[in-house]
Amino acid sequence: METRGDGDNQLLPTVAAGSRYSRFLAVTLRLPCTGRRMLAMSHEDDASYKLLFSAPEVVRDLVLGFIPDAWLHSLDYTTLEKVPGSYVTDDLRHRADDVIWRVRADGEWVYLYLLIEFQSTVDPWMAVRMMTYVGLLYQDLIRRGDALKGKKLPPVLPIVLYNGDAKWTAATDIAELIPKAPGLVAKYVPKLEYLLIDENQYSEADLAGLKNLVAAIIRFEHPENEQALLRLIDLVNDWLDGNPELKRTFAIWIRAVLLRQSKSTLVLPKVRDLKELKMTLAERFDTWAQQHELKGIEKGIEKGIEKGEALVLQKLLTKRFGVLPADVVGKIAGASAVQIDTWVDRVLDAVSLEEVFRP
């Protein structure tokens, strides 16, 4: 994929900048809990993702770093404002999964709808879901009296941020899910396309040079090793200097990610900030390294003892029966300590090599 960088916080596919957007933008982040991966998450893990993407700095970096549109990049994201994201549909069903932001542009409000998808599996009906979410957003804007002048609706940019391991194969336009129809019917086939941001498209080399919180989020989900993880925590801690609340949010989210990835085998106490998280992880990593080293030493001692016993057995057999055939030497070299002990016990009483090595 061809990419370009507009500053040190952007990694964008090269596309033409859109000019048909009107003067207002809102940012809605939906963190669905209907997918397999979300169902497997604990309440704390799910809440940590929602909390992370409720930070204006994260929303800003998602737009500036991963949405390819020059007009969007020209907006003033210091005006980001969180607005209520609780919907009541026309059939009176309540939906409270969405986090909505809005940002000023030319004195007006522009609405941008984002779906943040955390499923590890591809949803083949994502285009249908996106059409539903956009429709619910429009219904809510109309109900609250937030439609544009002249009974118009604001533009919406649906986005799916995919962080699963498998290749994304789902249709990105609902029209792709509907067979082509002849004649008049073809004119009325619905069309709604969403922008897919697939984390798998970005390598560590692509992301490492970006001063971008979303790039860091992707790197946290796929750390190269323990030391790289600790360095990344330090880096984000520096970026968020003067923002203790967002440091705490990142610490909560990183801890949740690590617990999920370890399938709860990792024991991590709750932490208050990134510095405390790094210290806790560093202690855990040191303990694991020491345990691994100790196991290596113990294994080496065992191997040394086995090798010494094998040499003793060879000397006894040579003294008793003469030069040993190559296959016997090989058999001794590949034997376990228990087998060698058994053969040593037989050396003095056996009348032949065959009797020593009998089953």
User: Does position 43 have pLDDT exceeding 70, yes or no?
Assistant: no
Q: Is 318 contained in some domain?
A: yes
Let me know whether 156 and 27 are in one domain.
Answer: yes
Residue for token pair 């060698």 = 340
Of 206, 222, 238, the position where a domain reaches its end is 222
Rounded percentage of the chain residues whose pLDDT exceeds 70: 71
Residue 114 has what pLDDT? Answer: 56
Question: What are the pLDDT digits (tens) for 285-298?
Answer: 655 544 444 444 34
Higher pLDDT, 84 or 123: 123
Higher pLDDT, 19 or 310: 310
Of 190, 222, 254, the position where a domain reaches its end is 222
Q: What is the mean pLDDT of residues 128-137?
A: 87
Q: Is 272 contained in some domain?
A: no
Q: Provide the domain count of the chain.
A: 2
Let me know whether 50 and 143 are in one domain.
Answer: yes
Residue 302 has what pLDDT? Answer: 52
Residue for token pair 């009797």 = 355
Band (pLDDT 50/70/90 cuts) for residue 172 is very high
Band (pLDDT 50/70/90 cuts) for residue 8 is low
Pairing mode, strands 3-4 and 12-13: antiparallel
Let me know whether 211 and 319 are in one domain.
Answer: no
Q: Where are the alpha helices (DSSP H) in 115-195?
A: 126-143, 183-187
Let me know whether 166 and 17 are in one domain.
Answer: yes
Residue 346 has what pLDDT? Answer: 84
Residue 330 has what pLDDT? Answer: 84
- Count Cα neighbours of 98 within 13 Å in the Cβ-side half-sphere: 23
User: Does position 196 have pLDDT exceeding 80, yes or no?
Assistant: yes
Residues 6+ apart with CB under 8 A from 49: 31, 116, 118, 253, 256
Band (pLDDT 50/70/90 cuts) for residue 253 is confident
Let me know whether 216 and 310 are in one domain.
Answer: no
Mean pLDDT of the residues in the chain: 76
Q: Is 176 contained in some domain?
A: yes
Residue 317 has what pLDDT? Answer: 84
Let me know whether 51 and 163 are in one domain.
Answer: yes
Residue for token pair 């941020």 = 161
Let me know whether 34 and 146 are in one domain.
Answer: yes
Parent domain of 180: 3-222
User: Does position 133 have pLDDT exceeding 90, yes or no?
Assistant: no
Q: Is 120 contained in some domain?
A: yes
From first CA to last CA, the distance across the chain in angstroms is: 63
Q: Is 233 contained in some domain?
A: no
Provide the whole-model pTM: 0.67
Question: What are the pLDDT digits (tens) for 60-109?
Answer: 999 999 988 898 898 888 888 877 666 555 554 555 556 677 787 776 66
Residue 292 has what pLDDT? Answer: 47
User: Does position 184 have pLDDT exceeding 90, yes or no?
Assistant: yes
User: Does position 125 have pLDDT exceeding 60, yes or no?
Assistant: yes
**DSSP line for 69-85:** -HHHHTS-GGG-EEE--
Q: Is 281 contained in some domain?
A: no
Of 185, 201, 222, the position where a domain reaches its end is 222
Q: Is 45 contained in some domain?
A: yes
Instruction: Report helix, strand or coil for 299.
Output: helix
E strand or H helix that includes residue 342: helix 337-347
Q: Is 289 contained in some domain?
A: no
Let me know whether 18 and 163 are in one domain.
Answer: yes
Let me know whether 60 and 150 are in one domain.
Answer: yes
Question: Where is mean pLDDT largest: 18-27, 101-110, 233-242, 322-331?
Answer: 233-242
